[in-house]
Amino acid sequence: MSRFAKETNVFILEEPIFDGHDHFSVEKRSEKLTIITPHLTPHRSPGEDRITMRILLSDFLKNQSMTEWIFWYYTPMALQFSNNYGPALTVFDCMDELSAFDFAPPELLDMEKALLKTADIVFTGGHSLYEAKKEQHNNIHVFPSSIDKAHFAQSRTARAEPADQASVEGIKLGFFGVIDERFDRDLIKNIAEQRPHWHFILLGPVVKVSWESLPHNPNIHYLGQKSYDELPEYLYGWDLAIIPFAINNSTRFISPTKTPEYLAAGKRVVSTPIRDVVQPYGINGYVSIASDASEFISAVEQNLSTGDHTEWLDSVDLFLKDKSWNNTFKEMKKKMLWTLLEADKRLAS
C-alpha cells in the first residue's frame, strides 16, 4: 500500500476500536496515505456495529464518485458494511483461509462467497491458497510472500543484539510472529525438555491462546512483540530460525512471510512441513523440514554443525533476487490495469 500511495491516494480502514462514541479518526501518514480507525460504542450487538460502520463509511464517502475508487479487501467481513457501493475495481487480497482460524465468525464463509462473486480480481498469498480458490474465480493470481531484503539483510552486518536477548547465553533458536493456535506448543515443549541447553527466543504477541497453555521451561523466553525495525538486531543473535507451526486446519493454506525474511537475514531455518514452505523452500534445500520433535532436533543439530555455508547462502540470495515488494507491486498493478481495460471493452461492446 505504501507503494500505491506514491502514485495515488490510499485510505486504509483499520479494525474498529470499541472505546467510546462512534466516529472515524483520521491519521495522515504521508501526503497520499491516510489511516482511518473506526471508534465504536462498546457492548452493542454485531448487527448494531455493522449498521454504525455502514453509516460512518457512508458519511466518509459522501459526494465521492465511485468511478474514481478501488476497494481492496483483506477480509470478507468488511463486505457487510460496504456492499452497497460499485467502485471501479474490487480487489480481494486473500492472504489466509480465515474461516479455518479459531473463533472465526460463523458468517465468514458466506461473506467470502459473496466477495468472490463481487471481486473483479483475486490475489492469493500462496500456492496452496491459490489451488484451493482457483475454481471459484476466473481472474485469480498467486503472489507468494514478498520481502524487504535490504531491511532483513541488516542482521548480517549487525554488531550487537538487544539487551533482553543478549542476557540469554547459549544456543539461540528464534521465532517471530503471532503466537496463537498455529503455534505448536507441544513441539517446542518436547524439544526444550530434550535439549535444555538450547534457548528458544519467541518474539510476538500471544493471541487467542491462554498464557497458561504455553510451555514455560527455563530455556523458553517470551520477549513480547517487537517493532519491525528491531527485528534485524534480534535475528543477528540467533544461531538458527524456526517455524514451529502445528499441522492443522489453520495452517493448511498459510504461506509464512517469515520464511524468506529469515533467509534474507542469512539464517538457516528449520520448519514443520507447511505446504508452502516445503514447496519451494524445502525441496530446494533452502529450509530443513521436520515433522516431529525427533526430526526437528536432528535437523537443528545438522544445521548447527554445518561450517561454511557460503554456497548455501549464495543459492538463497539467487532465489530471493526477484522476491521483492517492488516486483509484487508492479505485477499486481499490471493485472489490475488489465482487468480495468477488459471491463471497459465489455462496456464498449
Domain range enclosing 133:
4-146+324-348
pLDDT at 101 (0 to 100): 60
Q: Tell me, yes or no, whether 213 and 70 share the same domain.
A: no
Q: Tell me, yes or no, whether 48 and 171 share the same domain.
A: no
Domain count for the chain: 2
| DSSP letters spanning 247-259 | -SGGGTT---THH
Q: Tell me, yes or no, whether 174 and 314 share the same domain.
A: yes
pLDDT at 261 (0 to 100): 97
The span from the CA of 196 to the CA of 24, in Å, is 50
Q: Tell me, yes or no, whether 216 and 252 share the same domain.
A: yes
pLDDT tens-digit series, residues 68-122: 999 999 999 999 999 999 999 999 999 877 666 666 677 888 899 999 999 999 9
Q: Tell me, yes or no, whether 304 and 248 share the same domain.
A: yes
Q: Tell me, yes or no, whether 264 and 251 share the same domain.
A: yes
pLDDT at 255 (0 to 100): 87
pLDDT at 263 (0 to 100): 97
DSSP 179: B
| Average of per-residue pLDDT values in the chain | 94
Q: Tell me, yes or no, whether 163 and 18 share the same domain.
A: no
For the cut 90, the answer to whether the pLDDT of residue 166 exceeds it is: yes
CATH number, residue 11: 3.40.50.2000
Q: Tell me, yes or no, whether 253 and 294 share the same domain.
A: yes
pLDDT at 24 (0 to 100): 97
pLDDT tens-digit series, residues 273-324: 999 999 999 999 999 999 999 999 999 999 999 878 899 999 999 999 988 8
Neighbours of 140 (CB within 10 A): 19
Q: Tell me, yes or no, whether 132 and 234 share the same domain.
A: no
pLDDT at 274 (0 to 100): 95
Q: At what angle do helices 293-305 and 185-194 cross, to 10 degrees?
A: 60
**Which of 140, 141, 98 is CA-nearest to residue 116?**
140
pLDDT at 349 (0 to 100): 72
Q: Which position has the higher pLDDT, 131 or 193? A: 193
Q: Tell me, yes or no, whether 132 and 190 share the same domain.
A: no
The span from the CA of 306 to the CA of 244, in Å, is 21
Q: Tell me, yes or no, whether 302 and 166 share the same domain.
A: yes
pLDDT band at 339; cut points 50, 70, 90:
very high
